[in-house]
């Protein structure tokens, strides 16, 4: 557990669809209609209610975020955000990935949500290197906390031991600076 201002940051190795929180973040594609990885798992576990709401939303540009209820999930909401496909790093990927995290938190604040859980956005089939992506994720979350506050707890829910260890090293370094 880590603390920035009054916000607790937790690292969890596991399945984001099992997390009890105000909102889980879905690493979605632009259509919001489901896919592989985290996106597919959230749609399968949450049931058809999420897909029905996503159809009404009509998609989401990369770096932005949209919100739906969570269907059958233990969370209250799903915040769908679209991270960038990694194409070498010279195509605004860092900015778009930062925006995906930051805009998810802005949406959580708009809905007065106090707890949120993030996967590692864009590091699966979108190919973003976990080492770079984790720096951006942590920076976006800490920037939001320092600028806007209002979130009590942020969970980073990581699927693999390797991803967990990378986030852990970076957060330990940040807390010791």
- Catalytic amino acids? 39
CA angle in degrees (0–180, nearest 5) for 93-80-27:
50
H/E stretch holding 26 reads strand 23-27
User: Widest CA span of the chain, in angstroms?
Assistant: 46
* 162: its two tokens: 């390797």
Count of alpha carbons within 13 Å of 12, Cβ hemisphere only? 21
Residue 64: count of CB within 10 angstroms of its CB = 18
Residue 132: count of CB within 10 angstroms of its CB = 16
**Euclidean distance between CA atoms 125 and 36, whole angstroms:** 8
**Euclidean distance between CA atoms 103 and 109, whole angstroms:** 10
Q: Which residue has the tokens 């106090």?
A: 114
Taking each helix axis from N to C end, the angle separating 161-175 and 130-148, rounded to the nearest 10 degrees, works out to: 50
């Amino acid at each position: 557990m880590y603390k920035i201002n009054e916000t607790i940051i937790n690292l969890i190795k596991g399945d984001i669809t099992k997390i009890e929180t105000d909102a889980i973040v879905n690493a979605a594609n632009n259509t919001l209609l489901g896919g592989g990885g985290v996106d597919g798992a959230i749609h399968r576990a949450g049931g058809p209610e999420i897909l029905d709401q996503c159809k009404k939303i009509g998609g989401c540009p990369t770096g932005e975020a949209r919100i739906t209820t969570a269907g059958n999930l233990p969370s209250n909401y799903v915040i769908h955000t679209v991270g960038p496909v990694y194409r070498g790093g010279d195509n605004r990927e860092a900015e778009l990935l930062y925006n995906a995290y930051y805009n998810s938190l802005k949406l959580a604040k708009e809905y007065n949500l106090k707890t949120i859980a993030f996967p590692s956005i864009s590091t699966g089939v979108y190919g973003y290197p976990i080492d770079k992506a984790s720096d951006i994720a942590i920076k976006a979350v800490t920037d939001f906390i320092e600028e806007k506050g209002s979130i009590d707890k942020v969970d980073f829910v990581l699927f693999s031991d390797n991803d967990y260890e990378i986030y852990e090293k970076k957060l330990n370094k940040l807390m010791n600076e």
